[in-house]
Chain A
Amino acid sequence: MMWLSDRIDRFRGRGSHAPTVPPMDGALRPNTKLEDADVLARVKAPDNLVLHQGRVLVSSGAVVHVLDPATGGLRDWRRFDAPVAALCSLGDRLAVALADGRLTLDDLAVTGLPDRPCVTALAAGENGTLIVCLGSADNGSADWKRDLLQRGASGSVWSVAANGTAGQVAGRLAWPSGAAAAQGTITVAESWRHQLTQLGGQPVVTDLPGYPSRLIPAGDGWWMCVFAPRNQLIELVLREAAYRNRMMAEVDPQWWVAPTLSRATSFYEPMQGGAIRTHGIVKPWAPMRSYGLLVRLDAAFRPIASYHSRADGWFHGITSALPFGDRVLVASRGGNAILCLQEVRP
């Protein structure tokens, strides 16, 4: 009977098979605070903001810039031979992960990780360790859409000791892409499961309306970057194996029905009904595959405030945030900008 009702549910798209998306409500109620924030600097696809030894660093492709938080001035700090996947400051040392899988602590190469690890995020652990999130064992970090569409759950979290040796903390995660260490436990953002999971324990926040990624400490709580929204059409496609597989086989990845970091610019990208431009305007509630969302969490990871750039906005694809004094710097990878949020007290 259970099997039958499950089949019926699947056929009708009901019950556990309903391609529904939780509403943005409560603390996640939409606003335009992110869209209205000051643009501190224009950077092409800024990814990871870190504060290291008093300097604000931001990665953009293979380059790491130094950002002047007062003027927004940028200068090159270091240039790598591969795109930078993630940065993390451990106080005196800077951890740099490259998209080709190399991971270094200043000059010390980390050992013990799998071959060509797909680093999605780095975070400072307790006791001077470095926490490494590997999104997937099958796909590289640039191939995140494919991992989502393959319903990947091969991610893992590793801990790197000061001597550069890594050990696995947890596996079988669905694209872990952000970590927070506190009180002896590590909480990771499992993007494809739309939740924050306490390693060795229960999910702490579930059913988020977007894909969570990096977690950044913020006083007594955290900042959570949500790099893309969930979308009913994508949820449907995730349940439609035949369509998904043919799409992955026949269509260029940039035109897939999949979340994106930046607002659609090409007419080859799929468009949904609510997104038709009427009278020259795209409605803010239009269904989109990209969105700008930064969420403030309390110490127990409960959302208490949020900052949005909606469908009609441009600052989508939030990949990192950095508290700096009484301001918060925000990297909008899709909007090619570093934003500066004032008055962030909820």
Chain B
Amino acid sequence: MASDFLTRWRYRLVPDKIVGEILSKNWIDSAIPFLFLFAAVAVFGTLIDNMFTAGSVSGLSRTIGEYLLIGLGLTIVIMAGGIDLSIGSVFALANLMMLALGGVMGWPVGLAALAVLATGGLIGLVNGVLVGFLRLRAFLTTLVMLIIVRAVVDTLLLAYTSQISSTEIITPVWDFLAFETVLGMSASFWAAIVLAVLAHIFLTRLRPGWHILAVGGSRRAAHNAGINVCRTICLTYVASSMLAAAAGIFYAARLASLGNDTGLGLEITILTAVVLGGTSLGGGRGSMFKTVLGVIIVVIITNSLIRLGLRSGASSLVLGTILLIAVAIDVRWVKNRAKLLARSYVSPTYFALPPLQLVSRDPASPYAINDLLSVAEPIGVGQVDGPEDVILDADCNLYCGSRDGDIIRFFAPDHRQSEVYVHIGGQTLGLAFDRDGSLLVCVGGMGLYKVTTDRQVIKLSDETNRSWLSIVDDSRMRLADDLDIAPDGRVFFSEATIRYETHDLIIDALEGRGNGRIICYDPRDGSSRTVLPGLQFPNGICMVPDGASFLFAETWACRISRYYYDGPRKGRVESVIPDLPGYPDNINLASDGNFWCGIIGMRAPAFDLAQKMPGFRRRMVMQIARDEWLYPNMNTGGVVKFSLDGTIVQSLWDGIGERHPQVTSMREHKGYLYLGGIFNNRIGRYKIPGADPDWTATRAYWGAAR
């Protein structure tokens, strides 16, 4: 159809998925303040001459440095879910103390600074104990502290102003703090930047920093996770007050001002900067980088308003308005970001399957429906949850994965007794034995793992090379699915999708895009490299016994292809079955030299049509609940046996659909076919009429050695 042609090109040319992928980035939170800063610089830089000359920037850097120091402290408090309003008063007290100790008392600058910092820390400690341990409200507690400390400052000012005014601190250190610049920027600026970097590392890379974020995210959850919530909160206030005191020291050095308006309303200015940067007032979200942005914006704006010659009160009004807008954006953004992301991340594209060949119960047709699997004997009913893959060792013990992240072993010969062989963590999917009997496992969300014969779990690969143009970090593995091992030991495994986790794999089907890839892990040097990108949910992988190629199934594309990793055709992909009537899953060897393939579900015409109409799928995802979405039909499936030339040799179904509504994996072992299903609660065992009763896959792979 003509419209199909247009749709296809529309979706090929416009990469919708980028919007969602960008929104999924953590740094997107900083994008708004960054744009704001950019706009502020552009607007005021144009309006005001000399706005960004070296001297002007150097002057600004003093204010920025002081504000930033306070801002860092407030950010830490806010990230832990609190608020500290006392910073302005602490700042004023620090200024006064510094001038008094250094000037009147004649203490050395370093000692005076230490005393001032200690006083700040003490005030913070009082705040912290009250808020953290006694669970008083942060807002009221620090508001009271603001008033108390301000009163102390006023009292001291009244008593000592004339004394302090008459003395001046004159030492090189003091002058350096006050007037010198390094690379055109003030000492306070550099101090603040260094502290910001350290604080960033502390918050993002160190355990106590994570604790702060965790407490801010959810106090209760943090407590349950064993974090000392009270102490964490308390310490944030100590940090905040000490940083405010540090800023006060720089201020004292710069101005030696005894004005009683020192630090007045500073808490609002800093709060504006922090919130404007994008740190959420609700706690748990934010970063130092954002605060740096916020402080720079606020300083540029206030400075510009002064320079523009706005009259009394106007700049407070503008600043207040900006705070209001920033808070509003913050609230709306935090509230809606996940929703926006969930909606815009799913990005369907045009995908047309080859014409559907209808299957029937006619035994002569290639995919003839029958009820053969409905008599499969159940193994481990209720003991397993989602055995995606099953495998048997040389001693006929049966292994399967599970949704809980275990590998479960059923003991030979009757497979009645079972044990948890190992616990890995993520959903255990594809399984394979290597030459020395270790079990290689694809673990959803984790990568490729190896379980040695003495049950040690070793990570083989959890990242591959990152592709250049990918916005999402595609080096990490999200959904390693199935694997097989080449004779030379290289492991080829499929990663079904790089855009979704296991629990969202259906959404990948709704996108209809090649989001998956096949990765080669080379045990010789431990490297992993993507060999085949852009596959549509690559799933089963099975070595062809020619030592040069393997078969792989692409589930949502309903096709099986052959890839040559070696030999003269190296690098080529050939189609084996291009038009399955259902969705293929794992592929494994059969005793007669053919291949088994599990069918996880069947193509439905209404879904196939939807795949050609991405706009419809997109609106479906946006407008209705997930349980209501049109899915690929995964309630009917079976097993087909096919030859290397793509001929269907046999098909096995559970037409009744009670025991094995769909099959994700099957292994032939000594005349039986063992069946796994990712949504099933059992393993099935089906006697294959006429199959070689001695044949095992392990021996077929690795010879009689094992």
Contact = CB atoms under 8 A, between A and B. Distances in A.
Do any beta carbons of A and B sit within 8 angstroms of each other in the complex? yes
A18 B624 CA distance: 8
Given A236-B619, A255-B606, A269 B658 contact: no
Contacts of B624: 13, 19, 232-233, 235-236
A205 interface: no
What does DSSP make chain A's interface, helix, strand, loop or mixed? loop
Contacts of A128: none
Contacts of A270: 604, 606-607, 630, 633
A120 to B, nearest CB: 25
Interface string B624-648: 1111111111111000000000000
A271 to B, nearest CB: 4
Interface in A217-275: 231-233, 235-236, 240, 242-243, 246-247, 250-252, 255-257, 267-275
A286 interface: yes
Contacts of A267: 601-602, 604, 633, 635-636
Contacts of A286: 627
Interface stretch (A166-174, A277-285, A330-338): A277-285
Contacts of B615: 242
B605 A252 contact: yes
A276 B635 contact: yes
A239 B602 CA distance: 27
A331 to B, nearest CB: 26
Contacts of A246: 609, 613
A272 B609 CA distance: 15
A9 to B, nearest CB: 11
A209 to B, nearest CB: 14
Contacts of B623: 12-13, 18-19, 236
B43 to A, nearest CB: 30
B304 interface: no
B258 interface: no
Given A236-B620, A276-B635, A277-B657, A256 B606 contact: yes
B440 to A, nearest CB: 27
B681 A280 contact: yes
Nearest to A274: B627
A340 to B, nearest CB: 27
A242 B616 contact: yes
B622 interface: yes
A287 interface: yes
A250 B605 contact: yes
A276 B631 contact: yes
Interface in B509-560: none
A280 B661 contact: yes
Contacts of B622: 12-13
B679 A276 contact: yes
A242 B629 contact: no
B661 A277 contact: yes
A5 B607 CA distance: 31
A256 B604 CA distance: 10
A257 B659 CA distance: 27
8 contacts: A232-B628, A251-B606, A270-B606, A272-B628, A274-B627, A277-B635, A279-B681, A287-B628
Given A257-B630, A268-B605, 19 more contacts: A13-B624, A231-B628, A232-B625, A235-B624, A236-B620, A247-B606, A247-B609, A267-B635, A268-B358, A268-B603, A269-B604, A271-B634, A271-B635, A272-B631, A273-B627, A273-B629, A275-B635, A276-B631, A277-B657
Interface of A: 12-13, 18-19, 231-233, 235-236, 240, 242-243, 246-247, 250-252, 255-257, 267-280, 282, 286-287
The 9 tightest CB contacts between A and B, nearest first, are A13-B623, A274-B627, A267-B636, A267-B602, A279-B681, A270-B606, A232-B628, A271-B633, A232-B624
